Amino acid sequence: MSQQSRHPDQPEPSYSLPPYIREEIADFPQPGLQLGNVGPLDFPQLVFGAATLSTIYNTEGLLQSDIPVRTVRLALRYGIRGFDTSPYYGDSEVVLGQCLQALTGEFPRSSYKIITKCGRYGADEFDYTPATIRKSVLRSLKRLGTDYLDVLLLHDVDFVGSPMAPFPLEGFHAKVFTGAAADWGLVPGKESKVWGTGDRRVVEAIGEMRKLKEEGLVRAIGISGYTLPTLLRLAILAANTAPFQPLDTLLSYSHYTLQNSAFVTYLPHFVNQAKLQQVFCASPLSMGLLTANPPPWHPAPGKLKEVAKNAYERVKEWPGELPNLAVGYTLKREGEIMGCDKGLTVPTVIGLSNLHEVHEALALWREVNNLTTDGVPRRYAEGLVKSVFQENGYLDWSWNCPPGFRKSNSLPLSPASRTA
């Protein structure tokens, strides 16, 4: 990803919609099964991953066209009335905000929900200080054209929280509960333990987020990240730190996919131990790993990328190829409870870049959730993909996050030590 700083102290980017926004046949939904809202936070089953509204995934030319606003409009018309963004995602908040404001006549603010994040502003740029958390949220509100956020997440806490486990962090995170729980601080009696400076920074940031919630600027708060045992430990820590209230939610990415479904093992622990109301899973394509051309910045090791390419070739004759299978796998399984003691369903955050991808996502969601559809061929093809990862030792395997993580956990976290 770009090294450009997105810290609240940096100048604001400018963005304006084109003067004319087309409306054609492709701008309207196809008839079929309707999306519903799920869980205590009342989010749609599919959430629009708005990192696509930036040069991380798309070109400047596309962003300057009417495609972003038409894509957002079509998603809203289909019932995808939830959006996930972040200051870290380049101009995403700015572009999304302009699109939503342009559509106010058809979709007022009360008709959709917004998730954004705070704390991460560059590849190695984290600022969890309370003053910056507040400044970041106020900027996000302005960018998004709203006076409240439905969900605020502390971004990528696994980069900041105190290191626990033996290094490296890569491996089979689902096995933590069968012998390595103590290595990750996931043992009885340690729920409130702050293991170092990183943990203190997370706790302080969450404290400011609680104040923003009390002031009505934010309606729910939580954390996001990749490393599942770290997410669980920090969510438990938050619930066992004054004022002893659990977080509302958590977002995990790339762990509910054909390559790695360890999220399913952690879901009951997120609900029963961390007392979260609802959990989100993101990135069915594992940030592009399960596509023909993973982005060059993807953090997976080269060997895993090679295995993913082999998996892609193994099912190339499937209509829509591996991306179709991968997204279908995640969408069919959203809502698995797997031992949770409450009727919790899991919204899926999926990146959408254009009208075709919106239509395709809804068609796929309808297909895999249609009880009359013969799912045997799809399950067989999914099994082929999983077998490729299993044969090479990468099924349910998680890469090191952060890459090259240091025991000192000395990432720049304060204004004095930031790097642009």
Residue 282 within a domain? yes
Confidence of residue 48 (pLDDT cuts 50, 70, 90): very high
Split at pLDDT 50, 70, 90, the class of 169 is: confident
Q: Catalytic residue positions?
A: 89
C-alpha 382/C-alpha 376 separation (Å) is: 10
- Asked if residue 19 belongs to a domain, the reply is no
Distance CA 364, CA 352 (A): 13
How large is the average pLDDT for residues 316-327? 97
CATH number of the domain bearing residue 378: 3.20.20.100
Q: How far is 48 from 185, CA to CA, in rounded Å?
A: 34
Tell if the pTM clears 0.95, that is, is over it. Answer: no
Which structural domain range is residue 78 located in?
A: 41-398
3-state secondary structure the chain: CCCCCCCCCCCCCCCCCCCCCCCCHHHCCCCCCCCCEECCCCEECEEEEHHHCCCCCCCHHHHHCCHHHHHHHHHHHHCCCEEECCCCCCCHHHHHHHHHHHCCCCCCHHHCEEEEEECEEECCEECCCHHHHHHHHHHHHHHHCCCCECEEEECCHHHCCCCCCCCCCCECHHHHHHCCHHHHCCCCCCCCCCCCHHHHHHHHHHHHHHHHHHCCCECCEEEEECCHHHHHHHHHHHHCCCCCCCCCEEEEECCCCCCCCCHHHHHHHHHHCCCCCEEEEECCCCCCCCCCCCCCCCCCCHHHHHHHHHHHHHCCCCCCHHHHHHHHHHHHHCCCCCCCCCCCCCCEEEECCCHHHHHHHHHHHHHHCCCCCCCHHHHHHHHHHHHHHHHCCCCCCECCCCCCCCCCCCCCCCHHHCCC
Give the chain's domain count. 1
State the pLDDT at residue 279. 95
- Examine residue 14 and state whether it is found in any structural domain, yes or no: no
**Interval 195-212: pLDDT, tens:** 999 999 999 999 999 999
Q: Is residue 413 part of a domain?
A: no
Is residue 412 one of the residues assigned to a domain? no
For 365-414, the pLDDT digits (tens) are 999 988 788 889 999 999 999 999 999 999 999 999 887 654 444 333 33
- Whole-number pLDDT of residue 406: 43
Residue 196 lies in a domain: yes
Q: pLDDT band for 344, please (50, 70, 90 cuts).
A: low
Tell me: the pLDDT tens digits for 60-94? Answer: 999 999 999 999 999 999 999 999 999 999 999 99
Q: Is residue 407 part of a domain?
A: no
304, part of any domain: yes
